[in-house]
Structure 1
Amino acid sequence: MSAARAAQGRTGTFSGAPDWAGPALESVLGRVAVTRAEVGDRFPLFADPDTGRWTTTGRGSWTGGFWAGLLWLHARYTRGAADREAAARFTGRLAEWVDADTATRGLIFWYGTALADTPEAAALRVRAAHACRDAYDSELGLVPWGSAFGGPRLLARVDGVPGMVPLLASVDPLAARSHLRGHLELCLSEAPFCWSWRYERAVGWAPRDDPPPGWSRGRAWLLLAVADAARCLGTDDFTEAVSYLVPEPVVPPADEAHPDGSLDTSAAAITAVAQLKLGHREQAVALLHELISTHVTADGRLLNGCYDLASGTATRHELVWGDFFLAYALAALTGLVNPHDA
């Protein structure tokens, strides 16, 4: 990427970007610098809406790749050597998840490495992709959810699809296609949609209600995976699914069963990125404008994200993946990145 293009991204004038996009990106990425100073060597997870103070993890959990991805976006914006070093350091720390038995390796390694420009990050992505390919279950036709976070291993969960599709496609396009198709067939087969299924060898797949059918990020995660498939698999086989998954351009409730309860801005940010990837720019811009004008603070914090409504965990907070997808969408609008870079 040229310096001129990066500078255009900073001013928000690239490719007819809305006049609010550049300042919003500057604010959101400015928050990344503040967060990095606060969390030190730990990974941010969610931040208190009143104080802005982060709850952190030592190893990153399933969200670690989003922090690494945010740092790479920040480094691309500033072009600072210290910022690149920080991004590379956190990306390297994701390596301990390569052999973890979890389909969230798609989230960890795709978003943690796709924006990186170092040989080490590229090699880590290849290692992770092969590890995920080795976890592919040919009988199930997908990479199962895994046991790394406890509970039954043979699950198909919607949050095991985004990131996993492009990661698998880099080493085995057929496995990537099968993984996505299997989840689409399961998740969209019920009315209302069901985002998690358990497999038992004797009886096959059975639906589960965790996460619940009205879960905000169910549609968003699956739409993002379909948008990535169109690019990385070079196919429009999944176009029909888009019509079922595209929501209204509004911030959704965390659970559709509780329309007057908590919102989930992180789901809206994920959806905006998916819309940009699909070429639905008008819908993405409308959604991003709603986020920026209503839910982003003056110091760049995207509030009203919901980590887990059922347990009451971080129900109106700033979430690290919400920050990532908001920053990525704004970066795509302003020309700092291509919508298909990550």
Structure 2
Amino acid sequence: MAHENRGPARRPADVPAREPVGVPVGAPEWAAPALSALLDRAAATRAEAGDRFPLFAEPGTGVWTTTGRASWAGGFWAGLLWLRARHTGLASDREAAARSTGRLANRLDADTVTRGLIFWYGTALADTEEAAALRDRAALACRAAYDPVPGVVPWGAAFGGPRLLARADGVPGTVPLLAAPAPEVAGSHLRRHLELCLGTGSFRWSWQYEGAAGWIPRDDPPSGWSRGRAWLLLAVADAAHRLDACDPAEPVGRLLPGLTVPPADEARPDGPRDTSAAAVTAVALLKLGRRDEAVTLLDALVHGHLTADGRLLNGCHDLGAGTATRHELIWGSFFLAYALAVLTGLVDPHTA
């Protein structure tokens, strides 16, 4: 169900408003109010979640499901708090963001390529030496995990199941995290995923390495998975800016979806939509310099799916498992807030 955006929620009484900053010429009039609403929602979420990490919230009540160990999505929560700190300029918001980033450290030793998502997005917007050190340690861990035979940083065993997997959601975050300390690893990791996932036929977002038998496609996530396109498009956009040898033209041409909020699974066009995929795509478009297309997509999100109190609804976490299929997702909120922060001049598109 779409929710009309009626402007930003009221700030909590104990959070003073920052003096308004100039909005760049050409920024849509709805961008700044929508960003304020999202970041006010982040303050309310922080009060509810405490030292835990929010994952997804019920569309009716807004109550969050949280985790104490950050999971693969913990970096998006820390990143959202850093956006709020930049927006308000308040020391209390900056301290809260720094604490959240610090709590990501328990995932450094986790055997998972999603350390790219966790530690890139959880540190890129930070301005502390501690966050920079955490990012460097995570990059070293990902570089050490790289396997030159299959040519990827493996999916890993942290979530159970086979370790030697290549999945589309293991590329974003990992590419910018490795681009400076290990550009050859970042490039190999991206190229192998593009070769596998795009192939010559239908998209396949997950592959298992079987030694002499090579790469074997897997059916989960399905080929119609909305975030498969979005995650790879984001990784290509980052690589185009950070890796000298990356030419984005061909993969962008194949990955770019229509400028609407996509179904969570293209094979189920009448099923749930996935606003989080659209938000990721909008950020990728801004990084690629395709601003008008990004604005079209963001307009649809803000006016069709963002509530007055800053909740981006209709995100689909896992349609196959029936998990959080029409919910507020922490990564959807982060990427929408980041895209709006770019439009309003709060951040550069390549900061994170």
- Range into which the TM-score falls when normalised by the shorter chain: over 0.9
Match of 2:262 among 247, 252, 256: 252
Match of 1:120 among 125, 130, 141: 130
Match of 1:227 among 237, 243, 259: 237
- Contact kept? 2:70, 2:107, Cα under 8 Å: no
Structure 1 residue 12, shift from structure 2 partner? 6.5
- Contact kept? 1:198, 1:208, Cα under 8 Å: yes
- Contact kept? 2:18, 2:89, Cα under 8 Å: no
Deviates more, 1:100-109 or 1:236-245: 236-245
**In structure 2, the residue corresponding to 1:175 is in which secondary structure?**
helix
Match of 2:42 among 5, 17, 32: 32
Give yes or no for the alignment of 1:147 onto 2:157.
yes
What CA distance in whole angstroms lies between the structure 1 residues aligned with 2:21 and 2:98?
26
Deviations 1:282-324 (A, max 9, x none): 0000000000000000000000000000011000000000000
Match of 1:203 among 185, 193, 213: 213
**In structure 2, the residue corresponding to 1:274 is in which secondary structure?**
helix
What CA distance in whole angstroms lies between the structure 1 residues aligned with 2:321 and 2:261?
21
What CA distance in whole angstroms lies between the structure 2 residues aligned with 1:171 and 1:9?
38
Q: Larger % of helix: which?
A: 1
Unaligned stretches of 5+ residues in structure 2: 1-16
Give yes or no for the alignment of 1:165 onto 2:175.
yes
Unaligned stretches of 5+ residues in structure 1: 1-6
Q: Which amino acid aligns with 1:241?
A: P
Q: Which amino acid aligns with 2:259?
A: P
Match of 1:302 among 286, 309, 312: 312
The match for 2:115 is 105
Q: How many residues align?
A: 336
Give yes or no for the alignment of 1:186 onto 2:196.
yes
Structure 1 residue 239, shift from structure 2 partner? 2.2
Normalising by structure 2, report the TM-score: 0.94
What CA distance in whole angstroms lies between the structure 1 residues aligned with 2:245 and 2:285?
17
The match for 1:68 is 78
| RMSD of equivalent CA atoms | 1.3
Structure 1 residue 147, shift from structure 2 partner? 0.2
Normalising by structure 1, report the TM-score: 0.96
What CA distance in whole angstroms lies between the structure 2 residues aligned with 1:331 and 1:222?
22
- Contact kept? 1:29, 1:74, Cα under 8 Å: yes
Match of 2:346 among 313, 336, 342: 336
**In structure 1, the residue corresponding to 2:162 is in which secondary structure?**
coil
Q: Which amino acid aligns with 2:134?
A: L
Deviations 1:123-180 (A, max 9, x none): 0000000010000001111101000000000000000000000111121101100000
The match for 1:262 is 272
**In structure 2, the residue corresponding to 1:252 is in which secondary structure?**
coil
Q: Flag as ranges the 4+ runs of structure 1 deviating above 6 A.
A: none
